[in-house]
Structure 1
């Protein structure tokens, strides 16, 4: 690990300045996104025992390549700097062709996925559906009885998966006092406010109110839905989410490094945004999806579920939402985004620039971790999508 003095020379701050009150803010997020377990309690998601990572694949040839963006020619290296990249893995035809690491990032470094966690969690839900343990058309309380009298009482599992729960909740990332800030504090992502009574994620979710309209309508992005999915998975399986994810996804996948998920004071896993893992292991999840649910010659999730995830969903639910402005032809289904473009690409996305992007036609998978200063910037999303399109041609 880089010495503190060398780290300050590289990044301009001392890493011991990062703490719970500032860990998502620049510049401290550069270090904190790789060390979340030092701020927040976590549960282990065990990797496959005994597997060792192959050496780093030199990215220099790729970094020098140029592509056109908004009428200008820029290098891949410049694009990665512009998007505050911490690490990127590029796979072509099942083989790693480049590992990009910022200073102090190694093959063992685990980085928070933020909402890319939602897409990983949905794979576990797909596995349970294949097992006959989870029915997407059932109401949520069948699996989570404590939400029977909540807004989720008449919502289907399918509504949770597709972000079509009618919910009076907005994700306002920069409001320190609104409902989203309270949600973060319930998940132990922020320190409690003075005099505030601590609450759990389940208690927060149970108090949410219904929005306008019925469930199953327009796409409405709300992270609590994905924590509810984690509760559904635990209720359907009778297992803790991190144990089940290890047994049914990470170990069959051949994950090389343990992952972990943040938990609240009651031990509830933050499946909506708390998974932390290495970029190579995330890329392996993308490759499994590209291969229709198979990794290492072993079926992890059914081809039918993968096909439905990357081709199904409601175009109308998406087009009538505010998100359609940045992805006009897109859809959202089973917590994965579809571009709707000719390459049939699909992806997982998290705030501050976390991506798992799959281009089936180019046989390409990209896992990209970033520490962008702002949580959400549509221009940055467009920039990254343009970079990925370029990499499909030049990698």
Structure 2
């Protein structure tokens, strides 16, 4: 037998992180994640949405643009509206055709998929999780699907990025982001979820309990409802978005897409995805999602994020302030789609601190992006 060695990008070492997520090599990892997954699906649209270059000089001169693009963490900033590209800025080490890990912005694909299945009557958000996954463990048994959609389940899964041994890092084994310890079998998405434990799952507070495991569970549920159909559903989303490059998505050991954080897109294609969300919200896109469900997330009463992002509410795998819809991504990404003006702001960056997360950094990012939206009235 030939000599072998473990894949260095996925092997876990210092701080319980693989090389792609080590602070010193994280920027390279986020810029090349599409080449580092254990396995991945790559999709390209047959028809690309045209974005004509139409730089807005007043927008480009905004202090918020200077702040966002002047950071050491900056990778790209793209602003689009309709068929126009109003602003496009890329870091010197990040060309316009380079994919970037979008991490939890990927959850917006689950919003579109679950919304369509709910609208078609195949998924009932009022049902308990065990109706669809009878073997689920105590971490989700007794929770309503709607609470899973809204990040409103209290269990023992931790997404504390400051804790290098939090369950969110173990989850990476099931998503194809890291290798298990030598001699241990790579878990499936289902086996990982069934191992999560919990007691009273009800959320007694006003803030959400953010957990990427919720999205993984929705992925398993949707696969149970439509066996083998999820890659095709993602292809429909890529087609509807009209991406120019490839929509890359990490796959689990059993071939389930890692909708919780496995997506990679160029900055401009991320903006195209945001424009798709606008069309869904405005009722001009019938191929994916469900307009009524997306619109209801804007006004439905639901819990908010912790401070300093407490003006943002969470519903159906989306973040919203009641006007825009979008999502953040671990490491420094955000996608904001304004349902009123139709303007989309896509921001990519890579935090190089130990945890790859800062609530203050993300709050400042969101505030700056909000300032780039047209004023109401």
**Band of TM-score, shorter chain:** 0.7 to 0.9
Cα 1:33–1:296 shift into 2, 3 Å: farther
Aligned equivalent of 1:127, options 116, 132, 148: 116
Aligned equivalent of 2:364, options 383, 386, 390: 383
Q: Is the 8 A contact 2:280 2:290 kept in 1?
A: yes
CA-to-partner distance for each residue in 1:224-262, whole Å, 9 max, x for gaps?
111111111212222342222213x22133222221211
Within the alignment, does 1:96 sit opposite 2:80 as a pair?
no
Residues in 2 aligned to 1:253 and 1:60: alpha-carbon distance in whole angstroms: 23
Offset of residue 201 of structure 1: 2.7
List runs of 5+ in structure 1 lacking aligned partners.
Answer: 1-16, 68-74
State the partner residue of 2:46: 49
CA-to-partner distance for each residue in 1:157-194, whole Å, 9 max, x for gaps?
21110011221121122433343332223333233335
Offset of residue 299 of structure 1: 4.9
Residues in 1 aligned to 2:130 and 2:291: alpha-carbon distance in whole angstroms: 28
Within the alignment, does 1:338 sit opposite 2:320 as a pair?
yes
Q: Is the 8 A contact 2:78 2:87 kept in 1?
A: yes
CA-to-partner distance for each residue in 1:189-218, whole Å, 9 max, x for gaps?
233335555423321210111144536976
Residues in 2 aligned to 1:58 and 1:104: alpha-carbon distance in whole angstroms: 24
Aligned to 2:264, what secondary structure does the other structure show? strand
Residues in 1 aligned to 2:94 and 2:284: alpha-carbon distance in whole angstroms: 27
Offset of residue 312 of structure 1: 1.6
CA-to-partner distance for each residue in 1:30-52, whole Å, 9 max, x for gaps?
22213223321233252322548
Cα 1:90–1:196 shift into 2, 3 Å: same
State the partner residue of 2:334: 355
- Further displaced range: 348-357 or 267-276: 267-276
CA-to-partner distance for each residue in 1:319-357, whole Å, 9 max, x for gaps?
xxxx432123331101111225xxx23321111111111
Aligned equivalent of 2:230, options 230, 241, 256: 241
Cα 1:357–1:170 shift into 2, 3 Å: same
State the partner residue of 1:33: 30
Residues in 1 aligned to 2:31 and 2:260: alpha-carbon distance in whole angstroms: 18
**TM-score (normalised: structure 1):** 0.80
**TM-score (normalised: structure 2):** 0.84
Aligned to 1:357, what secondary structure does the other structure show? strand
Offset of residue 274 of structure 1: 0.8
State the partner residue of 2:9: 19
Cα 1:58–1:83 shift into 2, 3 Å: farther
Residues in 2 aligned to 1:59 and 1:222: alpha-carbon distance in whole angstroms: 38
Aligned equivalent of 1:113, options 93, 102, 113: 102
Q: Is the 8 A contact 2:175 2:262 kept in 1?
A: no
Within the alignment, does 1:277 sit opposite 2:265 as a pair?
yes
Offset of residue 118 of structure 1: 1.2
Residues in 2 aligned to 1:300 and 1:198: alpha-carbon distance in whole angstroms: 33
Aligned to 1:325, what secondary structure does the other structure show? coil
Within the alignment, does 1:143 sit opposite 2:132 as a pair?
yes
Aligned equivalent of 1:267, options 236, 239, 255: 255
Within the alignment, does 1:257 sit opposite 2:245 as a pair?
yes
What is the RMSD of the two structures over their aligned residues, measured on CA atoms? Answer: 3.0
